[in-house]
Amino acid sequence: MAFPSIFNQKDVNVIIQRIHQLNPQSKALWGKMNVSQMLGHCCIPYAQIFNERNDKTPFVMKWLLRLFFKKSMVNEVPYKPSLPTAPAFLITDQRDFEKEKNRLIKYIERCRDLGAEELKRRKQTTLGYLTEKEWNNLIYKHLDHHLRQFGV
């Protein structure tokens, strides 16, 4: 089953509506992050896309991820609860809920506006160049996973 499109306004509106259902007291159904940390965590892939973060993945780790995990990261199967978090994606400090929520929404809109054709020209930090479908699945799955984590 195909995921909703991160490039389609209607689908993006649904994602943003889900984010607006969160509040500073939203509790996780699994995991260690609070809701503000989760929102900050969800911003990281976008910061990488827009070259606002320069996370370097060691060559061996890139090779292992591409060889053994890429398929599960970009396929159309939702992530299971309580998967381990890569070190570059860990958020352990306290975050401002409204600031992180607004930042995530802006990133989602920027990515939609960037469009699939431009995104396909950019390398994903560890997986390299991806197709439109792979980019969509990777980004949507991650967002959906964490929104489900907080019950929305």
* Residue 7 and residue 112 in contact, taking contact as beta carbons nearer than 8 Å: yes
pLDDT at 23: 98
With a cut of 80, say whether residue 80 has pLDDT above it: yes
Whole-prediction pTM value?
0.93
Asked, for residue 1, whether it belongs to a domain, the answer is no
Number of domains into which the chain is organized: 1
With a cut of 80, say whether residue 58 has pLDDT above it: no
Asked, for residue 3, whether it belongs to a domain, the answer is no
Asked, for residue 2, whether it belongs to a domain, the answer is no
Q: Which domain holds residue 49?
A: 9-75+85-149
